[in-house]
């Protein structure tokens, strides 16, 4: 089911405008729907948010109007493709009304249906996202010394926060997540996917990222009808991908390291006193080339069947 936004008559459209413009590489917004449903009003609201000074009007009689921030097209009488118009698209957001009438070459776009609904005798303008190839997600890494969180769009990191040598990640976890979401004007409800690791590493850190991802997967399904994807990877696969070694050392605590060796698909993990051999993970490489790491993450269907990776069973408490 597509994401729906409801607005009363004459209510501002900030919620959907902020959501759409939170996507860094957005090329186009393709609008369809009945007359008077709010297509031009949405286009005008988007342009205003982008800082457009000119008044945006319906392009019905002009077919296309170029503004400073957007290109606005009415495709009601068009057929075929947009080749004749594409030279005007550089560095501008393209908004097309009646977009079902044409073919396009956009890769990062939203297709939105607009309609009017009567709910409890009140008029609502409803905008439903029908199609988008753009996936928005978070990458959360808490099992290593540093706390790293990144906003991801279509396998590219567009924003990130790294807190170096953070021992008690629980003290800053939620405020850091909130910080990156707020400054990108989105909420946790807007995410399509969460990438995280499942250890080995810090015992509490490994649980933190995994618990955050799995809890949100369950909540989003029931609260927002959002089929949030969870993608997990053993922490050591980050190192094997980056370092191209067959043996690595990951910090377990102040006194121990995990010695991890890999031969084909076989992985052996053991605790070691060789803490001087601990490998460091270079986050700058994943920031600039996250797409090359995506294949190490696997889809999670049932979070309750997933287990964290330990070298030995945790011995906390007991009978």
Position 167 scores a pLDDT of 83
Determine the length of the chain. 319
Position 311 scores a pLDDT of 63
Return mean pLDDT, the chain: 90
Q: Is the pLDDT of residue 98 over 90?
A: yes
Position 304 scores a pLDDT of 77
Is there a contact between 14 and 79 (Cβ–Cβ < 8 Å)? no
Is there a contact between 250 and 236 (Cβ–Cβ < 8 Å)? yes
- State the pLDDT confidence band at 273, using cuts at 50, 70 and 90: very high
Give 188-219 pLDDT, tens digit per residue: 888 889 999 998 998 888 889 999 999 988 88
Q: How far apart are CA 67 and CA 129, in angstroms?
A: 25
Q: Is the pLDDT of residue 31 over 70?
A: yes
Is there a contact between 150 and 290 (Cβ–Cβ < 8 Å)? yes
Report, as an integer, the average pLDDT of 248-271. Answer: 92
């Amino acid at each position: 089911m597509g994401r729906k936004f409801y607005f009363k008559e004459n209510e501002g459209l900030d919620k959907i405008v902020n959501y759409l413009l939170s996507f860094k590489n957005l090329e186009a917004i393709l609008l369809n729907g009945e007359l008077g449903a709010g297509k031009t009003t949405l286009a005008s609201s988007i342009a205003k948010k982008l800082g457009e000074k000119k008044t945006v009007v319906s392009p019905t009689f002009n077919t296309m109007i170029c503004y400073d921030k957007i290109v606005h097209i009415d495709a009601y009488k068009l057929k075929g493709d947009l080749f004749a118009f594409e030279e005007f698209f550089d560095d501008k957001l393209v908004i097309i009304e009646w977009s079902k009438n044409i073919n396009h070459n956009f890769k990062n776009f939203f297709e939105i249906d607009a309609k009017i609904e009567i709910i409890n005798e009140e008029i609502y303008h409803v905008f439903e996202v029908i199609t988008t190839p753009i996936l928005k997600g978070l990458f959360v890494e808490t099992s290593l010394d540093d706390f790293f969180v990144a906003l991801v769009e279509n396998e590219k990191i567009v924003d990130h926060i790294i807190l170096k040598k953070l021992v008690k990640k629980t003290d800053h976890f939620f405020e850091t997540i909130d910080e990156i979401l707020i400054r990108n004007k989105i909420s946790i409800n807007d995410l399509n996917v969460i990438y995280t690791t499942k250890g080995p590493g810090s015992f509490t850190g490994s649980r933190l990222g995994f618990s955050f991802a799995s809890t949100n997967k369950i909540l989003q399904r029931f609260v927002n009808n959002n089929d949030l994807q969870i993608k997990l990877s053993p922490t050591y696969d980050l190192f094997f991908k980056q370092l191209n070694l067959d043996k690595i050392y990951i910090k377990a605590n102040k006194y121990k390291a995990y010695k991890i060796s890999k031969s084909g698909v076989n992985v052996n993990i053991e605790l070691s006193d060789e803490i001087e051999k601990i490998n460091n993970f270079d986050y700058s490489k994943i920031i600039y080339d996250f797409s090359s790491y995506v294949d190490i993450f696997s889809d999670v269907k049932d979070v309750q069947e997933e287990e964290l990776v330990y070298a030995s069973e945790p011995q906390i408490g007991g009978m």
